[in-house]
Amino acid sequence: MVKKVEIYSKSNCSYCVMAMNFFDSKNISYDVYSTDDPKIFDEMMKRNPYARTLPQIFIDDQLIGGYTDLIEKYTE
């Protein structure tokens, strides 16, 4: 069972919206952190220094990756 979902996002990011829609469709709550704020961006880079795209999704403090990684891992 998923305990905590965190999504690092930015404005006008269609993949970010698709990730949120995925969790909404599964009735899974999540926290969104906007990387439009440089402090949040820096926090994300500390958690995943290899991040090059958004969203960056963490489930129970483990990096899942982006939207396509999420779909590959959690759809049948």
Which structural domains are found in the chain, ordered by start? Answer: 5-74 (3.40.30.10)
Q: Specify the higher pLDDT residue, 1 or 43.
A: 43
pLDDT at 76: 63
pLDDT at 2: 73
pLDDT, tens digit, for every residue of 3-51? 899 999 999 999 999 999 999 999 999 999 999 999 999 999 999 999 9
Residue 75: is its pLDDT beyond 90?
no
- Quickly count: other Cβ atoms within 10 Å of residue 65's Cβ: 17
**Separation of alpha carbons 38 and 1, rounded Å:** 32
| Burial of 61 per CB tally in 10 Å (0-12, 13-18, 19+) | exposed
What pTM does this model have?
Answer: 0.93
Strands 5-9 and 31-34: parallel
